Amino acid sequence: MEDIKDITKTETTIEVADVKPDREWRKDDASLMNNELPEEEKDWFADARPRKVMPAWAPIEKFFNWARAHSLWILAFGTGCGAIELRPLVTARYDISRLGMQPRPTPRQASVFMIGGYVSIKTLKRIVRSYEQMQGPKFVVAVCSCAINGGMYWDSYNTVKRIDQYIPVDVYVTGCMPRPEAVMAGFSKLKELILAGKAEGQNLYAEKFDWYKTNQKQVIKDWNMPDYNW
Amino acid sequence: MSIVVKILWSFLSLGVVTIWGLTLTGIVAKIFARVQGRLGPPVWQPFIDIIKNNAKRTAVSHGIMFYLGPVFRIAGGIGTYMFIPAIYGSMIFSNFSVSGDVFLVMYFIFFGQLGMALGAGEGGHPYSAIGVARGLAQMTAFEVPFALSIISLAVQYHTLNITEIVAAQQGGILNWTLFTNPLAVIAAMIAMLGMNMYNPFSVVIAPQETPIGPPTEYSASFLGLLATNRGIFNAAKMVLFMNLYFGGATNIVSMIVKTFCIYFFSVFIGVAFPRFKTEDAIRFFLKVPALIGLLAIAVFLI
What one-character-per-residue DSSP string does A170-211 give? SEEE-SSSPPHHHHHHHHHHHHHHHHTT---HHHHHHHTHHH
* A95, A106, A136 member nearest B58 (Cβ): A136
> Mean per-residue pLDDT for A176-193?
91
Share of chain B above pLDDT 70, in %: 98
What is the tens place of the pLDDT at every residue in B130-183? Answer: 888 888 888 889 899 999 999 998 888 888 888 888 888 888 888 888 888 899
The residues facing A160 across adjacent strands are: A119
Determine the distance in angstroms separating the CA of B126 from the nearest CA of chain A, rounded to an integer: 13
* pLDDT(B301) > 90: no
Test A104 with B212 for CB contact under 8 angstroms. yes
Residue A68's pLDDT is 92
**Of residues A53, A71, A108, nearest to B57 (C-beta):** A53
Q: Do B36 and A92 touch (CB under 8 A)?
A: yes
DSSP notation for chain A? -HHHHHHHHHHHTS--TTS-SSGGGG--TTB---TTS-GGGGGGS--BPP-------HHHHHHHHHHHHT--EEEEE--SGGGGGTGGGGSTTT-GGGGT-EE-SSTTT-SEEEEES-EEHHHHHHHHHHHHHSPSS-EEEEESHHHHH-GGGTT-SSEES-GGGTS--SEEE-SSSPPHHHHHHHHHHHHHHHHTT---HHHHHHHTHHHHHHHHHHH-S---S-S---
**pLDDT per position as a tens digit, A58-101:** 899 999 999 999 999 998 888 888 788 888 888 889 989 899 89
pLDDT band, residue A28 (cuts 50/70/90): low
Residues sharing a CB contact under 8 Å with residue B65, sequence separation 6 or more, in sequence order? B118, B119, B121, B122
In a domain, A125, yes or no: yes
Q: What is the pLDDT of residue B147?
A: 92
- CB distance B239 to B17 below 8 Å: yes
The contacts of residue B39 (CB under 8 Å, 6+ apart) are A95, A97, A98, B33
Distance CA A112, CA B52 (A): 13
What's the predicted TM-score (pTM) here?
A: 0.86
Determine the average pLDDT of the residues in B19-45.
90
* Assembly ipTM: 0.85
Is residue A56 in a domain? Answer: no
Task: Note whether residue A230 is domain-resident.
Answer: no
Q: Do A95 and B40 touch (CB under 8 A)?
A: yes
Q: Is the pLDDT of residue A3 over 70?
A: no
Q: Is 60 exceeded by the pLDDT of residue B63?
A: yes
When scoring A53, A66, A71, A191 by the number of chain B Cβ atoms within 10 A, the one with the most, hence best to mutate, is A71
Q: Each residue of B256-270: pLDDT tens digit?
A: 999 999 998 888 888
Of A92, A100, A106, the CB nearest to B37: A92
> Tell me, what's the pLDDT at A1?
45
User: Which range, of A78-82, B30-34, B47-51, B293-297, averages the lowest pLDDT?
Assistant: A78-82
Interatomic CA distance for residues A125 and A121, integer angstroms: 7
pLDDT of residue B124: 81
The CATH number for A114's domain is 3.40.50.12280
- Domain membership of residue A208 as a residue range: 72-219
For residue A85, being part of any structural domain is answered with yes
Q: What is the distance between the alpha carbons of residues A104 and B142, in angstroms, rounded to a whole number? A: 28
- Are residues B45 and A64, on separate chains, in Cβ contact within 8 Å? no
Q: Which of A1-15, A104-118, B234-248 has the lowest mean pLDDT?
A: A1-15
- List of chain B residues whose C-beta atoms are within 8 Å of the C-beta of residue A87: none
Decide if A134 is inside a domain.
Answer: yes
* β-bridge mates for residue A74, sequence order: A103, A112
pLDDT in tens, B212-244: 778 888 888 899 999 999 899 989 999 999 988
Q: Which residues in chain B have their CB less than 8 angstroms from residue A202's CB?
A: 57-58
Interface test with B, best of A91, A109, A195 (most B CBs within 10 A): A109
Task: Say whether A97 and B58 touch across the interface (CB within 8 A).
Answer: no
Q: For residue A114, is pLDDT > 60?
A: yes
Domain count for chain A: 1
Say whether A135 and B58 touch across the interface (CB within 8 A): yes
Q: Which residues on B lie below 8 Å from A63 (Cβ)?
A: 51
Write phi, then psi, for A77 (nearest 5 degrees).
-105, 95
Mutation for testing the B interface, residue in A45, A49, A106 having most B CBs under 10 Å: A106
pLDDT value, residue A26 = 52
The pLDDT of residue A193: 93
